[in-house]
């Protein structure tokens, strides 16, 4: 991945630190995060900070994921965990960023407008720079599939990074929607990054009563009324914003592989839990993938050609 950013095959970080602040969707508290540049091979690291004190640090990889009921959480204890990382991770992954230290003042990411667009903007404002170390990719070698009731998801070999996400809601407004495409920074930006999180009014009310989702509002969620209309006055950003957001979530969840994958990820009626379980299933089968340093067949062939030319 990161094939479109002109930094082909090399790891990246950001040029300078950049801060964002806003409301945490679950706590309702004000939170601030700062993206800092980081060295090659350090990965994406989240650091929870209180005052000057670092209380926890997690590399954004699937083994560090705790709960995935409402959002994706790093860590296993509320005192130290970092929640709602998926929209940030989607932006980081789609832009081809390999190394970043994210300083978090609070227990979760700011929800911003409920999409990945504000994170993309912040990263693009500071700029992306290449590091002198090659990037590694996870190339899918054979199908890995998981099922849960009517839901399923699978990885299959594919020369690129492709997502095919389908949802089927028992709501005439959403119904059955599918998004399919190869993810590049520009495809992600134009087709997925602005899609907002969504929910049904009845669920929002139930969540509020349970003291959850305290920061959710029409400024950061598409809310669907009991009579199946969008309550938000501005309407939808894309006609099929719902499946686009589910795809954005899947991009963010699979970013927890710790390296870009080369393959196709399909899911039907999935969610954070299913994405996390699919990734676990892939990672637990070492015959299903290999770690490579070049992203595409063409690059691999090109590399072989260079080797052939250089051969004595
Ligand atoms: Zn989401």
Q: Is the pLDDT of residue 29 over 60?
A: yes
* CA 41 / ligand 1 centre spacing (Å): 27
Q: Quote the pTM value.
A: 0.91
What is the mean predicted confidence (pLDDT) over 117-146?
Answer: 96
Q: Give the three-class secondary structure for 20.
A: strand
pLDDT at 295: 64
pLDDT band at 216 (very low <50, low <70, confident <90, very high): confident
pLDDT band at 260 (very low <50, low <70, confident <90, very high): very high
What is the mean predicted confidence (pLDDT) over 51-76?
Answer: 90
| CA-wise closest residue to 173 among 206, 192, 200, 207 | 200
pLDDT band at 3 (very low <50, low <70, confident <90, very high): very low
Place of tokens 């190869």: 182
Label the pairing between strands 261-268 and 161-168: parallel
pLDDT at 306: 45
What is the mean predicted confidence (pLDDT) over 62-89?
Answer: 90
DSSP character string of 145-192:
EEEETTEEEEEE--SSEEEEEEEE-SSTTT-EEEEEEE--HHHIIIII
On the CB side of 50, CA atoms within 13 Å amount to: 7
Query: What kind and span of H or E run contains 50?
Result: strand 44-50
Q: Is the pLDDT of residue 201 over 50?
A: yes
Task: Provide the Cα torsion 267, 213, 206, 74; round to 10°.
Answer: 50
Distant-in-sequence, close-in-space partners of 263: CB < 8 Å, separation ≥ 6: 138, 139, 140, 155, 156, 157, 158, 161, 162, 289
pLDDT band at 59 (very low <50, low <70, confident <90, very high): very high
* CA 70 / ligand 1 centre spacing (Å): 9
Please state whether 95 falls in left (phi above 0), alpha (psi between -120 and 50) or beta: alpha
CB 104 within 8 A of CB 72: no
Question: Could you tell me the end-to-end alpha-carbon distance of the chain, in angstroms, rounded to an integer?
Answer: 33
How do residues 218-255 score in pLDDT, each as one tens digit? 999 999 998 999 999 999 999 999 999 999 999 999 99
What is the mean predicted confidence (pLDDT) over 274-302?
Answer: 83
Query: Measuring CA to CA, how many Å separate 290 from each of 1, 158, 293?
Result: 15, 13, 10
Distance CA 61, CA 270 (A): 20
* CA 131 / ligand 1 centre spacing (Å): 30
| CA-wise closest residue to 214 among 119, 104, 111, 67 | 111
Distance CA 25, CA 111 (A): 6
Decide which of 309 and 163 is more confident.
163
* CA 154 / ligand 1 centre spacing (Å): 20
What is the mean predicted confidence (pLDDT) over 181-206?
Answer: 93
Query: What Rg value do the Cα atoms of the chain yield, rounded?
Result: 19
Mean residue pLDDT of the chain comes to: 90
Report the 10 Å Cβ neighbour count for 94: 29
Label the pairing between strands 53-59 and 100-105: unpaired
The residues annotated with a catalytic role in the active site are 272
pLDDT at 69: 76
Q: Is the pLDDT of residue 311 over 90?
A: no
Residue by residue, what is the 3-state secondary structure of 289-308?
EEEECCCCHHHHHHHHHHHH
pLDDT at 34: 98
* CA 249 / ligand 1 centre spacing (Å): 5
* CA 197 / ligand 1 centre spacing (Å): 5
* CA 296 / ligand 1 centre spacing (Å): 29
Decide which of 49 and 72 is more confident.
49
How do residues 293-306 score in pLDDT, each as one tens digit? 876 655 555 554 44
């Amino acid at each position: 991945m990161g094939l479109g950013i002109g930094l082909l095959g090399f790891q990246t970080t950001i040029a300078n630190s950049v801060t964002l602040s806003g409301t945490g969707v679950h706590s309702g508290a004000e939170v601030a995060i700062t993206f800092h540049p980081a060295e090659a091979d350090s990965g994406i690291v989240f650091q929870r900070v209180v005052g000057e004190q670092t209380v926890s640090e997690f590399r954004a990889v699937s083994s560090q994921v705790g709960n995935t009921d409402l959002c994706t959480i790093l860590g296993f204890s509320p005192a130290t965990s970092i929640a709602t990382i998926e929209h940030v991770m989607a932006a980081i992954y789609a832009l081809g960023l390999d190394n970043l230290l994210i300083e978090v003042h609070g227990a979760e990411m700011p929800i911003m407008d409920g999409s990945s667009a504000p994170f993309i903007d912040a990263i693009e404002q500071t700029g992306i720079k290449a590091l002198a170390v090659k990037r590694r990719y996870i190339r899918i070698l054979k199908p890995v599939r998981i099922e849960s009731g009517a839901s399923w998801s699978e990885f299959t070999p594919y020369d690129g990074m492709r997502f095919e996400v389908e949802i089927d809601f028992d709501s005439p407004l959403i119904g059955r929607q599918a998004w399919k495409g190869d993810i590049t920074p520009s495809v992600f930006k134009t087709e997925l990054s602005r899609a907002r999180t969504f929910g049904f009014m009845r669920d929002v009310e139930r969540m509020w009563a349970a003291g959850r989702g305290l920061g959710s509002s029409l400024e950061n969620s598409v809310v669907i009324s009991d009579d199946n209309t969008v309550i938000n006055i501005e309407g939808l950003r894309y006609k099929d914003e719902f499946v686009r957001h589910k795809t954005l979530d899947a991009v963010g969840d699979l970013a927890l592989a710790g390296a870009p994958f080369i393959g196709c990820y399909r899911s039907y009626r999935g969610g954070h839990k299913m994405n996390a379980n699919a990734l676990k299933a892939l990672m637990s089968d070492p015959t299903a993938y290999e770690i490579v340093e070049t992203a595409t067949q063409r690059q691999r062939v090109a590399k072989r050609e260079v080797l052939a030319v250089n051969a004595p």
